[in-house]
Amino acid sequence: MNDLSTRLHAFDIATRLEPVGDGRYVGATSPTYWNMAGPFGGITAALMLRAVLDHPQRRGRPAALTVNFCGAVAEGEFEIAVRLVRDGRSTQHWQVEMTQGERGVATTASVVTGAARETWSHEAQAAPVVPPPAEVASMDLTGRTGWTRAYDMRFVEGQPAWVGRLPQIRPARSVAWVRDAPERPLDYVSLAALSDSFFIKILQVRGDLPPVATVSLSTYFLADEAEVAAQGSRHLLGVCDARAFRHGFNDQSGELWSADGQLLAVTSQVVWWKE
Amino acid sequence: MNDLSTRLHAFDIATRLEPVGDGRYVGATSPTYWNMAGPFGGITAALMLRAVLDHPQRRGRPAALTVNFCGAVAEGEFEIAVRLVRDGRSTQHWQVEMTQGERGVATTASVVTGAARETWSHEAQAAPVVPPPAEVASMDLTGRTGWTRAYDMRFVEGQPAWVGRLPQIRPARSVAWVRDAPERPLDYVSLAALSDSFFIKILQVRGDLPPVATVSLSTYFLADEAEVAAQGSRHLLGVCDARAFRHGFNDQSGELWSADGQLLAVTSQVVWWKE
């Protein structure tokens, strides 16, 4: 780690990409955001988005991000290739592919960016009413997997117990304040990572953690640049739920609310598990 | 239309693909599923999925489908190219691209297929309790856009009024029985189309219909082959909601429940509109 690195936030080190020309970027996995058998999915999502945002032809802010986790990302270097599929007046459509040499494609993503616009607006739903972060205890993450310790999580509802298979199924809904640890001002790239920061739902409802992996993750960004910046480094309120666990897959849907009660992003994913 | 076509359901004609080798397929747009300025997004989603399911290397059933609507699809022929990105033991990852000659890429999609498996299962949420389809009136679709008349829709809640801008904002939630018209036994391809059969939410909440287009649509299939087949041609219960309309975009999330109250698929999309 060089002098510059020691002054950078671990998130910025983990999502640093070096352009090598022609829409291609090189990066490396980070120990801070390591999960059990590979990098935290959220950091991979953040990298796929970062590559598009760094592209010289990119206009506007992200509106949609879908990440497909095709195979395990190995520790070390990777390359991300970005392709502008369609350049429209109001939206740009991007395809992104992460590869690791002979290991082939580890991750694919699609990103839609949209021009900044002021329009009619309407909030059809409001943030849940919960105690402020200062009144909720931080979850003790001692001994937990790397990436979880890169976040401060304060559960209002649905904190997993990590006690193994429970005698009774618990509800799937969770509500928690969350922010980077150490704190860092929010941007779209960290919002993309946060959209995968909800704990695996099977752990919450069943109590144990089988072999499990997110297969596909989609995040829609409803906030514009100013609204993202207004959040600063305060806690976001993450709300997450699941509807069905069947045939080795479950759905998961989440919301990320600003400290001021504004919906910044919504996210959904499908999760694979072994048994 | 030849003799064979007259005996086929319009949906099967609209989603018919001719393999031209090397993972490429040729098809044509259908007047039955035409929308205002191009094909109904659901029929495009169905075509992208059909191309993967028709691919000789495909194993397992669909688990996830994301469709990015990059640009308008013109009336006439199109080509769909399918690429197997990663062939894993439990999942296959596919990339799909629809092009129309010099017009370039109209649509991209990613599909994840998963091996058929029996596992632990848990329904964290139940279908809403509503009157059966026989007790709910079909929506009068006389004079409406082509594709809507290819469905029988029976609204329990949230039917759009088509009366122009309303004096007061209405709730975004809708609950409706829906099936193909004429009826047709459900399969994954028609389930993909149904996942985009919810009316544009801005029409429901605001009353008018600005220039509007789905940007990205993701559907997760929770049902296995047997559960899809068990539905037959009965009505599905479609539940749909939206959370925020801001900066020319809104989110939308939906559920498709079987006639027996089983969650067959969940879907989410981000919608672009002009003002």
Among B8-12, B33-37, B90-94, B200-204, the range scoring the smallest mean pLDDT is: B33-37
State the Cα–Cα distance between residues B94 and B188, nearest whole angstrom.
Answer: 16
Torsions phi, psi of B121, nearest 5?
-140, 155
pLDDT (0 to 100) of residue B161: 87
With b for 16 or more beta-carbon neighbours within 10 A and e for fewer, the B132-159 pattern comes to ebeebeebebeeeebbbebbbbbbbebb
Select the residue of A104, A120, A122 nearest B86 (Cβ to Cβ). A104
The mean per-residue pLDDT over the stretch B5-19 comes to 91
Alpha carbon distance B120, A162 (integer Å) = 19
Nearest CA in chain A to B123: A244
Q: Tell me the two tokens of residue B113.
A: 């297929």
Handedness of CA A162, A164, A168, A172 (dihedral sign): positive
Q: Which of residues 25-54 of A touch B (CB under 8 A)?
A: none
How much is the average pLDDT of B85-89?
95
Total residue count of chain A as it appears in this document = 275
CA–CA dist B17, B55 (Å, integer): 11
Q: From B262, which residue of chain A is nearest by alpha-carbon distance? A: A244
Q: Which of A50, A54, A99 is nearest to A77 (CA)?
A: A99
Contact A119 B248 (CB under 8 A): yes
**SS3 of residue A182 by DSSP:** coil
What was the pLDDT predicted at B141?
86
Note which residues in 109-128 of chain B have CB less than 8 A from chain A.
110, 112, 114, 116-125
**Mean pLDDT, residues B11-38:** 96
Q: What is the mean pLDDT of residues B74-89?
A: 97
- Within 8 A of B263 by CB-CB distance, chain A residues are 243-244
Report residue B50: phi and psi, to 5°: -55, -40
Whether the pLDDT of residue B2 is over 90: the answer is no
B158 vs B141: CA distance, rounded Å = 15
Ranges in chain A, pLDDT < 50: 1
Compute the distance between CA of residue B67 and CA of residue B111 in angstroms, rounded to an integer. Answer: 9
- This prediction has a pTM of 0.97
What local confidence, expressed as pLDDT, does residue B56 receive?
Answer: 97
Q: Average pLDDT of chain B?
A: 95
Q: What percent of chain B has pLDDT over 70?
A: 98
Q: Which of residues 58-97 of B touch A (CB under 8 A)?
A: 63-64, 66, 68, 70-71, 85-86, 88, 90-91, 93, 95
Nearest one of B195, B150, B191, B156 to B177, comparing CA atoms: B156
Nearest to A108 among B85, B216, B274 (CB): B85
**A49-to-A35, A131, A174, A262, B68 alpha-carbon distances in Å:** 20, 32, 26, 22, 16
Output the pLDDT for position A109: 98
Q: Among all chains, which residue has been given the structure tokens 């990613």?
A: B110
In chain A, the residue whose alpha carbon lies closest to the alpha carbon of B248 is A119
For residue B5, pLDDT beyond 90? no
Cα–Cα dist A95/A105, whole Å = 13
Residue B201: helix, strand or coil by DSSP? helix
Residue B4, pLDDT score: 55
Residue with tokens 């999915």: A41
Are the CB atoms for A268 and B220 separated by under 8 Å?
yes
For residue B3, pLDDT over 70 is answered with no
Asked if pLDDT for residue B1 goes beyond 50, the answer is no
B-chain residues near A224 (CB < 8 A): 246-247
Nearest to B80 by CA among B54, B57, B41, B42: B54
SS3 A204: helix
Task: Indicate the pLDDT class of residue B6, thresholds 50, 70 and 90.
Answer: low
Please compute the mean of the pLDDT values over residues B215-243 and round it to a whole number. Answer: 98
Angle at B193 between CA B109 and CA B116, to 5 degrees: 70
Residue of B nearest to A173 (CA): B124
Q: Which of B70, B95, B253 sits opposite A253 (nearest CB)?
A: B253
What is the SS3 assignment for B205? Answer: helix
Which is higher by pLDDT, B155 or A143? B155
Q: Of the candidates A68, A123, A250, which has its C-beta nearest B244's C-beta? A: A123
Burial class from Cβ neighbours inside 10 Å (0-12, 13-18, 19+) for residue B243 reads: buried
| CB-based contacts of A20-27 (< 8 A; 24+ apart in sequence) | A20/A79, A23/A55, A23/A81, A23/A82, A23/A83, A23/A84, A24/A79, A24/A80, A24/A81, A24/A82, A25/A51, A25/A54, A25/A79, A25/A80, A25/A81, A25/A82, A26/A77, A26/A78, A26/A79, A26/A80, A27/A77, A27/A78, A27/A80
Contact A245 B70 (CB under 8 A): no
Is A43 in contact with A30 (CB distance < 8 Å)? yes
Nearest CA in chain B to A201: B124
pLDDT at B273: 97
How many alpha carbons lie under 13 Å from residue B125 in its C-beta half-sphere?
21
d(CA A267, CA A247): 22
Nearest CB to B215: which of A91, A123, A172? A91
Is pLDDT of B181 > 90?
A: yes
List the one residue out of A149, A180, A167, A51 whose CA is nearest residue A107: A51
Asked if the peptide bond before residue A182 counts as cis, ω within 30 degrees of 0, the response is yes
pLDDT at B268 over 50: yes
